[in-house]
Structure 1
Amino acid sequence: MKFNTVASIVISLCLAGDAQARRQVQQIVPTLAHREAVIVDEATSNASLVEARSSIPGVEAAKQFVTKKFGYIDGKDFVVKDTYSSDNGVTHTYLKQLVNGKEVFNGDFNINTDNSGNVISYGNSFYKGSVPKSNNLVGEKPGNAADAVEALFKHIQVDLGVSKDKVAVIEGRSTDGSATLNNIPNAPNGVQAVPKYIQNSNGELVLGWELEADLEENWLNGFVSSTNEVVALHDWVHDASYNVWPIGVNDPEDGKRKAVTKQGTPNTSPNGWHDQGSGKKFTTTTGNNVIAFDHRKTSDTVKNAPRAEGGKNLKFDFPIDFKKQPETYVNAAISQLFYTTNSLHDIYYAHGFNEVAGNFQQNNFGKGGKQGDVLYAQAQDGAGTDNADFSTPPDGKNPRMRMFLWDTTDPKRDGDFDNGVITHEYTHGLSTRLTGGPANSNCLNSLQAGGMGEGWGDAMANILRTRKEHNRNTDFPIGAYIYNGKTIRKHNYSTSLTTNPDTYATINEHNEVHQVGATWAEFLYEVYWNLVDKHGFNPDLTSGKHDAGNTLLIRLLIDSFKLQPCEPTILQSRDAILLADKQLTKGANKCEIWKGFAKRGLGVNASDAGGKYVDGHDLPKGC
């Protein structure tokens, strides 16, 4: 799916002088001598431990096993935290230990069962000593979590930035005693606190608080005892520094370059961006989600094409002089492309484009789907100019993104620095893998379906470039950076019918997918601002939350791809979005969505009978 004419939004690395070394945190991991991993011998079958029913779900077989062999009772001694099945028929079930109704921070039990319900292996770190009779956490209320947070910050030598009595403690809705601690300047997203037990290295069970604190350059998960001792500490940020135009900045003319140190989240990229889970960490732009490389020489293969090198500190900081031709700063381009595509992987993963849905990863970590399909991202590709494209084979085969140079200016401009273009192209892979299922790459080929494939790319680019200062009166061009200040589409995206007059009937004038896509993306732009006006804006795109308008639409679009049929029409895709909202929010946003569509002629009485697109502006009852 090519990026007709010219379109791209710049993203590049931050100036070397702006980069700062990340705070180093010493990990603390209690040693558990009783931890065990067992492969069950077929000769000593565990059939007596599991009901003789081949149809028993894997999770039920796992629970029966731990109950009959170890005496642990579901809901009393453990809780199921996760379970999923791989394509080889093995179900993986993960338990967390409970003591007096509270979880044990490092009390884990994983059970692997085959498709007949037989346990084939398990790992166990449950506490086996005498269990305390009661929870004697000092104060028994989350307010004391402020002491634990203060102890954690003192341990890593970071000032709270506020006196302890000024910390706002908001008790959680659940009955587990959890709380969120806000008003901490150095933890702008707050600190999550949950009372739990932990096993220390002496084999003792200690009561205290599990804390999670996102400090931007560090993302800490630790355990502080009720006596304010830091018993465990992990940093979820993997060391690296990418000097780039970050997500939210469309291109070099839209904002400043910035040093970014985060490599995904524990959920979206558990080993960071430079580790494929094989025990080897890469110091180049090679990882589990993306391999980005210089492809000026089209004869180069993925194996021998040059990558950007970050060294042992993973510092991807390369100079750029835009007065010179892009070939002089190719390493900066590769680094930018690597950063942006990894960011898109994590954003889309958080909203449902994961392993079982057919995303792009070399290693799926046993979570289902077909692996071995890391994205090949080809910077400054020598195969063409003034374009970009994305190839999406079925799940398990490598997709390919080719980013070209643009000769609309002198010096040329590089599409690798245009986040909008990269987002547009990556979204082709998203919509193709989800529409019709991961194994079918042939469901977006008709004029309407292929057109919407182009439109979803523009729509996601608009969503991801939005910042808090933007509002429904903001107009967005696509590709202005690479196209010498002009949009590559006929109109800017706008809620003004004067600036962008497109309606459903406009499609009668179109005979090319990019034209249809621009009209479809305009419809989604109207829906977008209706949702943002209702729910607000959240710059955190990887939390998986959908309580803000921008993140909600990302989720609804991804869900709609899974719901819609192969080769959907525009009316069917509209209805899939409404159905997605019904499933996700019980239709709480029905009227906002309908009003956005109806404004542009896609109301309940819109028609495509006989191949003619007829505007309809009517709303359903209740709106």
Structure 2
Amino acid sequence: MIGYRTRLSLAFTVFGVAAGAAMAAPALQERPPQILRPDVSGPLGNTNNGGTLPTLSSALLSHGHAQGSLGSLQQTEERHGRGGVTHVVYQQSSSDGLAVYKAYVRAAIGADGTVLQIIDHLANVPGGPSKASTINATQALQIAATQLYPGVALQFTATTSQGATSSFDGGTFFYQQPRVTAVAVPMADGSLAQGWLVETWADSTNQLLNTLVGGDGTLLQQISRTASDSYNVFLDSPAAGPQTIVEGAHPGTSPSQKGWLYPEQNTRQFLQGNNVSAFLDSNLNYIRDCCTTPVLGQQDFLYTENLNYQPDYFMNRRVAATNLFYLNNRVHDILYIHGFTETEGNFQDQNFGNWKFGLGQDSVFAVAHAGSYLLFYRDNSSFATPPDGYHPRMNMFLFDDQLFGGGDARVYVSSPSTAIYAYHAAFGPSPWVMPLPPPTGNLSNQTDTQAIGSTATAEMVVATPADGCSAITPGVAGKIAIIDRGTCFFQIKAINAANAGAIGVIIVDNRAESLFQMVGAGNLPVTSPGIPSVLVSQTDGNMLKALVAPKGRLAATLLRDAALDSGTVYHEYGHGLTWRMIGDMWGPIAGAIGEGASDTVAMLINGADVLAAYSAGIPSGVRRYRYSGYPLTYADVHGAEVHNDGEIFAAVMWRLIESFGSARRDDLFDLFVDAMNYTPSSPTYENMRDGQLQAVAHSNHPADRCTIWAAYAQFGIGVGSSAVINPDFSVTTSPSFVKPADCP
């Protein structure tokens, strides 16, 4: 989720159970990962002398683990990083075959077999069976659903079962079938108890949630996994320049061995390939809008955006799908080159035999204009990352100035020259059907042709009667009628004004509140009346009434399409990168790092220190400050808002981008991705720093070590820095601006 600086409600992500909530007991075993390295912990062994698992087990035994914790480790991943390093992951299991919840070992092994690092996140539990559950999978799902979706009547029917996982039909409320997996839960008292990991993916919100339900029906934890050919496309965003015709990847070449577009797409009307399927879903019912991307010729998508028209103009809709398809393929290929390949869990339908332990069939489903016909879906974007083998989903919304407290329309006043925020009505011709950008200069000089899609410049007059609920006197003919809210339906007021000859309607709110969309009378056609109507605030409306014969017009700000903004798309894709390569990006610290890392993906590709400037409609983008010269430090991380706290990590990475320079940005990109192999799930800022230090130590550029230390220390993540998560999920940091003694 990209998140914005003034609408924190849209940036909210569920990170766990709030203090005092009913999910508090019994307690899970909380054990931070232990990271073992030869330079600190002593030699960890060589896998050429006895094999990988025995070598790792021996090292873990020598560092305090009991044999019972190691008896049932099962390999689940094998990655091939840079410098000939192999990264392996082993899942801890109970003696009855259940995976121990969030318990794993990850090890880095050099080309000569030397164990370079072990991330130990095993549970300290006996090796025996788990305490039996007193509820079944269906009951666990119902318990989770009751907590997550209060007031929603849901019924579940079991459909399939594979191993420890059962799937359920939950109806149209869910984007995909809920799944429940039996797991062994490590408890704080050192015991193992059978529990249930419930995965639900709500259709309307794109919220993919994992809920851990104890065997006694207690809710233990909740995690959100949602942060959030030829093509005529915008390479960056409309603000950065016109569209450019580019060619897609050719089949048979890595990183897109099948090319971008499946061959059969020359006879179909959807943009679909091995890496991404891009489409529009304006109603957010997850049924692809019909006929939005017909193919021109064979495999050409050469549609031209008209930026003087709204995004839902038919040609602009085609551009949106094409652009989103291009940007997703581009970031897939760039990340592939820098190390996010099949072995690392990237997003592809076919893995071409390149991942021994993984699954395909998980290309990105990229949705443009998500919910664009539903006005509360604005000013955001999201990316939900399910486990391997399931398609992630990217939702790209439209943007308007509601982000900064305004509506989606304007009342432009000629004297004194000003613009007033307004919100268009759900009835009549919307004033934002075909608007031009807001005019400049003296509005009285604007011609009618400059106001396409809005009323012409006209005098604004107060209607009589003021509430407009009965026949309005002819004094509004050819003018814009100002009418008070109250007594009757909004639509009745507008119809009465139209019958009196008005060419537009401004309805003034009768209370101090946020702007909203006026709805119709219910029994009247939504096309009536044939003039546009907007709502303004009580304060602004009273100001209009006080003016002497004011002139102005109704118009709208152009909605901005996030599918055209590469920074927004790359940011969302970055959430998939971290969830797949690092693991859980959950919690006030790891969630913040996930946001900062996603900003970093966009910055490394675009080379810009601002994010989503086009989508937000302001040059400084959606963050509080530009990353160049960023003024905050680790001391400003408090856990209150993940996007704000994530800026600190992104600022470190921007400093590294500056230090490496444009000539070596690819080296930094390699380092950024490879370091995730050395980083534990739910990472801290220090884990990210140390992962990068490990990656550079085993790269071709070990001299970059001090450059990394300098960037982190500049922002307070130097030698000895730390952070703790408090019971109320706030964060307390202990900054350090100190570099190692051998780093100048």
2: distance between equivalents of 1:298 and 1:279?
24
Asked if 1 retains the 8 angstrom alpha-carbon contact of 2:265 and 2:271, the reply is no
Tell me whether 1:339 sits opposite 2:323 in the alignment.
no
Asked if 1 retains the 8 angstrom alpha-carbon contact of 2:609 and 2:654, the reply is no
Give the superposition deviation at 1:275. 2.2
- 1:419 is aligned, of 562, 566, 572, to 566
User: Where in structure 2 are the equivalents of 1:515-530 lying within 5 Å?
Assistant: 515-530=644-659
Secondary structure of 2:240's match? coil
Give the superposition deviation at 1:306. 4.2
User: Where in structure 2 are the equivalents of 1:81-230 lying within 5 Å?
Assistant: none
Tell me whether 1:504 sits opposite 2:638 in the alignment.
no
- 1:477 is aligned, of 610, 615, 629, to 610
Closer/same/farther in 2, CA of residues 87 and 524 from structure 1, 3 Å limit: closer
2: distance between equivalents of 1:349 and 1:88?
18
* Letter in structure 2 aligned against 1:530: S
- Which residue of structure 1 aligns with residue 233 of structure 2? 244
Tell me whether 1:457 sits opposite 2:442 in the alignment.
no
- Which residue of structure 2 aligns with residue 266 of structure 1? 253
Tell me whether 1:620 sits opposite 2:620 in the alignment.
no
- Which residue of structure 2 aligns with residue 16 of structure 1? none
Give the superposition deviation at 1:352. 1.4
Asked if 1 retains the 8 angstrom alpha-carbon contact of 2:239 and 2:614, the reply is yes
Tell me whether 1:256 sits opposite 2:242 in the alignment.
yes
Give the superposition deviation at 1:621. 2.8
- Which residue of structure 2 aligns with residue 405 of structure 1? 398
- 1:375 is aligned, of 351, 364, 377, to 364
* Letter in structure 2 aligned against 1:334: A
User: Where in structure 2 are the equivalents of 1:290-329 lying within 5 Å?
Assistant: 290-301=276-287, 306-328=291-313, 329=316
With structure 2 as the length reference, what TM-score do the two structures score? 0.46
CA deviations over 1:205-248 (Å, ceiling 9, x no partner) = xxxxxxxxxxxxxxxxxxxxxxxxxxxxxxxxxxx2111122xx
Give the superposition deviation at 1:571. 0.8
Secondary structure of 1:493's match? coil
Tell me whether 1:431 sits opposite 2:418 in the alignment.
no
- Which residue of structure 2 aligns with residue 3 of structure 1? 3
Percent same amino acid at aligned positions?
32
Asked if 2 retains the 8 angstrom alpha-carbon contact of 1:392 and 1:432, the reply is yes
1: distance between equivalents of 2:734 and 2:51?
53
Asked which structure has the greater CA Rg, the reply is 2
- Which residue of structure 2 aligns with residue 121 of structure 1? none
- Which residue of structure 2 aligns with residue 385 of structure 1? 378
Tell me whether 1:488 sits opposite 2:622 in the alignment.
yes
Give the superposition deviation at 1:305. 5.1
* Letter in structure 2 aligned against 1:421: T
Tell me whether 1:556 sits opposite 2:666 in the alignment.
no
Secondary structure of 2:395's match? strand
Tell me whether 1:350 sits opposite 2:337 in the alignment.
yes
- Which residue of structure 2 aligns with residue 448 of structure 1? 589
Secondary structure of 2:293's match? coil
Give the superposition deviation at 1:319. 2.0
Give the superposition deviation at 1:87. 9.7
Tell me whether 1:395 sits opposite 2:388 in the alignment.
yes
* Letter in structure 2 aligned against 1:460: V
Asked if 2 retains the 8 angstrom alpha-carbon contact of 1:393 and 1:399, the reply is yes
Give the superposition deviation at 1:480. 1.7
2: distance between equivalents of 1:273 and 1:461?
21
Give the superposition deviation at 1:375. 0.8
CA deviations over 1:248-303 (Å, ceiling 9, x no partner) = xx311123321111326811001211128x9998674111100000111323425x
* Letter in structure 1 aligned against 2:311: P
- Which residue of structure 2 aligns with residue 122 of structure 1? none
Instruction: Report 1 or 2 for greater relative contact order, CA contacts < 8 Å, sequence distance ≥ 6.
Output: 1
Asked if 2 retains the 8 angstrom alpha-carbon contact of 1:5 and 1:387, the reply is no
2: distance between equivalents of 1:529 and 1:389?
29
1: distance between equivalents of 2:265 and 2:641?
47
Asked if 2 retains the 8 angstrom alpha-carbon contact of 1:455 and 1:514, the reply is yes
2: distance between equivalents of 1:88 and 1:529?
34
Structure 1 residue ranges (4+ consecutive) displaced by more than 3 angstroms after TM superposition: 1-7, 86-89, 278-284, 304-307
Secondary structure of 2:366's match? strand
Give the superposition deviation at 1:506. 1.2
Give the superposition deviation at 1:588. 2.2
2: distance between equivalents of 1:575 and 1:335?
40
Figure out how many residues of one structure are paired with residues of the other and give that number.
360
Asked if 2 retains the 8 angstrom alpha-carbon contact of 1:274 and 1:284, the reply is no
Give the superposition deviation at 1:4. 3.7
2: distance between equivalents of 1:353 and 1:455?
18
- Which residue of structure 2 aligns with residue 113 of structure 1? none
Give the superposition deviation at 1:370. 0.6
Closer/same/farther in 2, CA of residues 300 and 600 from structure 1, 3 Å limit: closer
Closer/same/farther in 2, CA of residues 321 and 256 from structure 1, 3 Å limit: closer
Give the superposition deviation at 1:464. 1.1
* Letter in structure 1 aligned against 2:345: G
2: distance between equivalents of 1:507 and 1:529?
23
Tell me whether 1:361 sits opposite 2:348 in the alignment.
yes
* Letter in structure 1 aligned against 2:593: M
Secondary structure of 1:590's match? helix
- Which residue of structure 2 aligns with residue 288 of structure 1? 274
2: distance between equivalents of 1:426 and 1:571?
24
CA deviations over 1:366-400 (Å, ceiling 9, x no partner) = 22221111110001011611100001001100000
- 1:577 is aligned, of 686, 692, 697, to 692
Asked if 1 retains the 8 angstrom alpha-carbon contact of 2:232 and 2:304, the reply is no
- 1:602 is aligned, of 717, 725, 730, to 717
Give the superposition deviation at 1:311. 3.5
